[in-house]
Amino acid sequence: MRQTTMTKPNEVVREWHVVDGTGLTLGRLASQVAHVLRGKHKPTYT
């Protein structure tokens, strides 16, 4: 059986993300930004 790993507060790494939407479609840009804001790009996302 697989176990869900719990990330400890001292293991969390905070990052800044600068978004440049030049030449991108607004909907696709919004989807990419939402993906990052939810944290789905991190390996600790469950």
Contacts of 19 (CB under 8 A, 6+ apart): 29, 33
Give per-residue pLDDT as tens, 15-32.
899 999 999 999 999 999
Rounded to whole angstroms, how far apart are CA atoms 25 and 29?
6
Q: Specify the pLDDT at position 19.
A: 93
Q: Specify the pLDDT at position 5.
A: 77
pLDDT band at 12 (very low <50, low <70, confident <90, very high): confident
Rounded to whole angstroms, how far apart are CA atoms 8 and 1?
22
